[in-house]
Structure 1
Amino acid sequence: MTNVAVVGAGAMGEAIVSGMLQNGWDPADVVLAVRREDHAAALRERYGVEVTDAVTAAARGDVVLIGVKPYDVAGVLAEIGPHLRPSALVASLAVGLSTSVLESALPDGTAVARVMPNTPAQVGAGVSVISAGSHCDEEQAGRIEAIMGSVGTVVRVPESLQDAAGAISGSGPAYVFLVVEALVEAGVHLGLPRTTSTELVVQTLLGSAQLAAQTGDHPAVLRERVTSPGGTTAAGLRALEDRGVRAAFLAAAEAARDRSRAIGG
């Protein structure tokens, strides 16, 4: 087993730890680092893992996950860098920060990877986009893929596509939740009780996603199967197209990509 250190066990870091343990990782192979003692005590009780300071945790890790905010990453790397194992892989979960930025903040030759997970990882249904740095070999890349695979699907992309991928999968849940919210409100306006509207919307999105995943059919084909000529769905789709729904999603994705680039820059 690989020893894994998680520095900054917020919601995402904790979700990863939970997924690892549920998939057979030994708690003895996992060590966390958090700042607040009350949080540390809760994590120890919940998962039976060691919770300590950042330097001690990082020194133990074959893989060191950095789960702090982007503006805190440089300080954490400066703190833990001198104490890393020579063969350690440092993987950042922070948006926007390139592998070259990570490498420049660590001792020469340190292997790094850039990882963008998303919040459905909290229920084991996430997708993580991974890009390896210049010193990260295939074995090390496989380690981080195994870790992130414990909370969902893993997709490896060239780093040049990381900002774009993050704009879709990293920010995507927020777009989906906005659609859920909007459809629930639409149902309420049409006279449905809120609880009924919510159940209908959530199950419809869940079922539609499963249908797309299991059939592998193009979404346009699946959409056409729902859309009878001159029917109710056709009328609804026309209203969405008239209001530029496709252009709105494209604009949202471009804005998220550009913001990721700005954070990294």
Structure 2
Amino acid sequence: MKKKFVFFCLLSFFALTACSSTNDESQNKEQDESKLTAENDKPRDSTKEEVVTDSEEASVDMDNVTVADAQLSFIYSYDDVEHLMRDSGLSVEGEVVATENYVLMDEEVGFGSPFTKLTFKVNQVLSGDSSLEGKEITILEGGGYITAEQDGMKDKFPDLTEEELKETSFVLYNGHRPSKKGDILVAFLAKGSSETGFKYYSFTGAYQSKFEYNENSKKYVRPSENYDEWVTGVKTRAERSDIEELIQIEEDINAEVTKLVEEAE
């Protein structure tokens, strides 16, 4: 019977979230970024389904893709714009104009981590290098496609066939998809420090610093947990109060970011 593998590792992801430092402020930021840790390095859930990619350079066998949901825990949570700006060297508003699959390989350990490489057109610089306004930058966002071979399964399981080594996972972190072409975002970014051969930025604290424009509400909204479902499952007033507090935090920071963009226009 053919074995089915669900795979990927997160080591390189956490290396990518830290930015290079030249002063004490940057060093503090790296310390905060390093607090982002994995709850585990295995998918919580996986399903076989088709995943659509808008990358013209994608070379993924879409009939052989497993969707894997990995869980991240955040020791440091960003609850307001002030702290996001403090730990980000650049904050911008703009549009994702292209995406590309990217796996960051770590030759020392023999496996890689999946990313989505975003080409991001900067419409407004909210803080940081104002010369980037109107230009395109590269952002590496955690999550995307990775094959069994890229994840080091060839060394761990020498008997795997070529077909099995080509088996592909589309990795989501906490159920949040990577950005796609056409997304309009506010992004709080740090300069990437890993050896990739190109300059890039990464989201401060993963998706905690990404706010997508909602056409219906006319607001920038951060990806968050499905609190509405949580509320329906609570058993005590204390639990309901805790969830309502989380909902209020999200509403407040979304309003702060929306106001930030409006004042910059």
**Normalised-by-shorter TM-score class:** under 0.3
**More helix by proportion, 1 or 2?**
1
**More strand by proportion, 1 or 2?**
2
Normalization by structure 1: what TM-score? 0.25
Normalization by structure 2: what TM-score? 0.25
Q: Bigger radius of gyration, 1 or 2?
A: 1
